[in-house]
Amino acid sequence: MTTFRVDFLGCKVSHAVVHEVREALLRDGHTERANADVAVISTCCVTNEAVAKSRKAAARAARTHRRVYVTGCGANLQGDAFANLPPNVTVVAKRSEETAAFVAGDVGAIGCVQADARIDRVRAFVKIQDGCSFSCNFCVIPLVRGASRSRSADAVLAEIRRRVHQGHREVVLTGINLGCFRDRGAGYDLPRLVREAGETPGLERLRLSSIEINHVNDALVTALRETPTVSKHLHVPLQSGDDGVLRAMRRRYTTDTYLRRLAPLADEFNITSDVIVGFPAEDDTAFETTLHTVERAGITKVHVFPYSPRPGTVTAADDPIPPQLKKDRGARLRELSHELCLRRWSRKVDDVVLVDRPGRGYGDDYSPWLVDAPVGAFVHVRAAAVTEEGILAEAA
């Protein structure tokens, strides 16, 4: 018997990768443990810093585990970044489904004694789609994850039922480009999948991990509004709030499109986003326009990424903005984001919170609450006060 642990850096798809590996190992009878023989690390490559953190994670794991498998986007894009690590580290530059089979096979199958083990989180992440067929000038995802491809609707819905049976009361649909989900043979697009997934018996909350603004259309908006279990939260990447920068990025929308498509959700949904600061085309005026657009869009939490040239992309050799200026712009945007979060939190009166760690959890619109309740519980709460970390709750 082999003991193992899994870790990930980066997005929820990276999280899904390691749990595909996890389930393969559990199916084969191995045991999950913190101080394990084997570590599997799913890496990230969205920035140079992400690759560096991934390498450090692998080096740390090599000191405390007998064998380490490094997989995910960082391994796929920059496998050489993990060179010269100790000999017990193996880089597995494969797609997630291949990685799961490789690691499970390499560790060895010894039986099927834990085939239905529950994932050790209060919410389940179900991958419905992988890859991207678009080509933004800064983005490396098509290189590391391939073209867009979707799972069958039957497989997705079956996994959601299984996760709920295992005890998960919230499910998050994940993918690289969720709006591209299609099961043409069965007649499914994302809106239909949302409706049917949301009707799963026992499911209390369904959430989308991220979606591009081009796919926020009337059909999806209607499905989100009419499906009672859908969380009132949507993460919609902006990347820049300036049209000139968006064109230079080769994004497929304008700021007007972004604002117009979000308008029908503005009153109900909490909108969060991603923004890149310091892209080569971003001057001071463009950055100020981005700040203005973030506020106009009603965005609260902004995940801020300093531009980092990625190998193999159109802008790989273009990085004219000084690091300190990127840092300064990032700090200003994070400050605005926090101010917008506080504004939203101050308007909250009550909510239903899923407690996902000791002392805190997230409401239906993904606002953070500080709450004294058992991990895994859904609790009705009232707002007592707003703090820098979230909304202080009292039992309703």
Range of the domain at 161: 121-231
Is the same domain home to 338 and 327? yes
The number of residues making up the chain comes to: 396
Residues 96-134 have pLDDT tens digits of: 666 666 666 776 654 333 334 445 578 899 999 999 999
**Do 226 and 276 meet the contact criterion of CB atoms below 8 Å apart?**
no
In a domain, 113, yes or no: no
Predicted local distance difference test score (pLDDT) of residue 113:
35
Of 170, 198, 231, the residue that ends a domain is: 231
In a domain, 139, yes or no: yes
Is the same domain home to 285 and 359? no
Predicted local distance difference test score (pLDDT) of residue 98:
66
**Percentage, residues of the chain above pLDDT 70:** 93
Predicted local distance difference test score (pLDDT) of residue 118:
47
Cα 106 to chain centroid, rounded:
28
Name the least confident of 114-118, 163-167, 272-276, 294-298: 114-118
Is the same domain home to 382 and 298? no
Predicted local distance difference test score (pLDDT) of residue 114:
37
| Count of domains for the chain | 4
In a domain, 243, yes or no: yes
Name the least confident of 68-82, 91-105, 354-368: 91-105
Predicted local distance difference test score (pLDDT) of residue 26:
85
In a domain, 116, yes or no: no
Of 316, 332, 347, the residue that ends a domain is: 347
Q: Between 15 and 133, where is the model more confident?
A: 133
Name the least confident of 70-79, 188-197, 233-242: 70-79
We report the CATH number of the domain holding residue 219 as 3.30.750.210
In a domain, 168, yes or no: yes
Is the same domain home to 242 and 213? no
Predicted local distance difference test score (pLDDT) of residue 24:
82
Q: Using CA atoms of 188, 213, 172, 271 in order, give the dihedral in degrees to the nearest 10.
A: -140
Is the same domain home to 312 and 334? yes
In a domain, 321, yes or no: yes
Residues 204-236 have pLDDT tens digits of: 999 999 999 999 999 999 999 999 999 999 999
